[in-house]
Amino acid sequence: MGGPRTGVITDLLRAWSQGQPEALEELAPAVESELRKLARSHLSRERGDHTLEPMELVNEAYLRLLTQNRVRWENRAQFFALAARIMRRVLVDHARRRGAVKRRATRISLTPQAAAPGREPEPADVIDLNDALVQLFEVDPCQAQIVELRYFGGLTMEEVAQALELSASTVKREWRLAKLWLYARLREGRS
């Protein structure tokens, strides 16, 4: 998610935080392609016949981001982490609206590194994954933030380390532990 626009995006976010509405007008086109990429990533983990299109997910997330008036934007990693969290909420809301009968059809894949080689774990339901992530926030907020930034935000280990002010080795270790914890929680929920 890095690139030449990283500094520009950060500057626009800070200007928007300081009440400069023209910054928001410049920000929208600067982040649109990355938000679309993030939406496609989210939807690629969903079932093939999902009724949300990437642009619909981007639009809904962007509308919700616009209401974040009390956020003091520090950098692009913070912005895309919040965008990822909002997209996750949009997908969970969408799945809940589809109803409990159809709930099992909404699936995403969570592949822990501890899985046996050549063996893909069962896909996790988006609502179950969300519930497990909420539980992880209660147990270990740092690990939960890492999952949001990596899995839902698409940030690199280095970007996560920078955003959370941690070392890259700490992020890698916590990422592995968080995935194992989530995988165990999801398997437990199926039993």
Q: What is the pLDDT of residues 86-119, one digit of tens each?
A: 988 888 888 887 764 454 444 555 543 333 334 3
Q: Which residues contact 141 (CB under 8 A, 6 or more apart)?
A: none
* Residue 29: pLDDT over 80: yes
Q: Which two tokens stand for residue 81?
A: 């982490």
Residue 139 has pLDDT above 80, yes or no: yes
Query: Is 79 a residue whose pLDDT tops 80?
Result: yes
pLDDT per residue as tens digits for the range 172-189: 999 999 999 998 988 887
For residue 174, the one-letter residue type is: E
Contact 18, 71 (CB under 8 A): no
What is the spatial distance between Cα 33 and Cα 168, in angstroms, rounded to a whole number? 27
> And the tokens for 139?
């147990």
Question: Rounded to whole angstroms, how far apart are CA atoms 7 and 139?
Answer: 34
- When mean pLDDT is compared across 17-26, 64-73, 143-152, the lowest value belongs to 64-73
Q: Which two tokens stand for residue 89?
A: 């909420």
Sorting pLDDT into bands at 50, 70 and 90, what band is 123? very low
Q: Which structure tokens are listed for 67?
A: 């209401």
pLDDT confidence band for 167 (50 / 70 / 90): very high
